[in-house]
Structure 1
Amino acid sequence: MGARIRQLHRWTSMIFTLIVVGIFAFQAFAVPPEWLYYTPLPFLFFLMLTGIYMFVRHYRRPGRS
């Protein structure tokens, strides 16, 4: 399960980065609609959840002293 979460986290971060770069590129040519700025937020929320999960899982791993 941990490897799957880590892989999802990596792919989601790539999608998030591409969306943010796309928004900045779009700003160079025209003024984007306001809703466009909210498109990366679901990915950011998912990244936050998976990042917190991996952080806590690392320190709560059984067998660590």
Structure 2
Amino acid sequence: MSPRIRQLHRWTSMVFTLIVVGIFAFQAFAVPPEWLYYTPLPFLFFLMLTGIYMFIRHYRRPAQP
């Protein structure tokens, strides 16, 4: 399960980055609507959850002999 979560975290981070870059690019041409600033938030929330899971999983592993 952990490799899937790690891969999903990576792909979500790429989508999040593209959305943020797109918002900045859109600002160069016009004033974006207010709701556009909230579009990266679901991805950010998901990244937070998967990041916390991977962080905790790393420290909860049994010690290697």
Residue in 1 that maps onto 2:35: 35
Unaligned runs of 5+ in 1: none
Q: What residue identity is the alignment partner of 1:15? A: V
Taking only aligned residues, the RMSD between alpha carbons, in angstroms, comes to 1.2
For the residues of structure 1 that align with 2:24 and 2:49, how far apart are their CA atoms?
25
- Is 2:27 the counterpart of 1:51? no
Q: Secondary structure at the match of 2:32?
A: coil
For 1:26-58, what per-residue CA distance to the aligned partner results, in whole angstroms no more than 9, with x for missing partners? 000000000000000000000000000000000
Query: Counterparts of 1:8-23 in structure 2 under 5 Å?
Result: 8-23=8-23
TM-score by length of 2: 0.96
Percent identity, aligned pairs only?
89
**Other structure's SS at 2:47 match:** helix
Residues in 2 aligned to 1:2 and 1:62: alpha-carbon distance in whole angstroms: 15
Shift of 1:63: 3.0
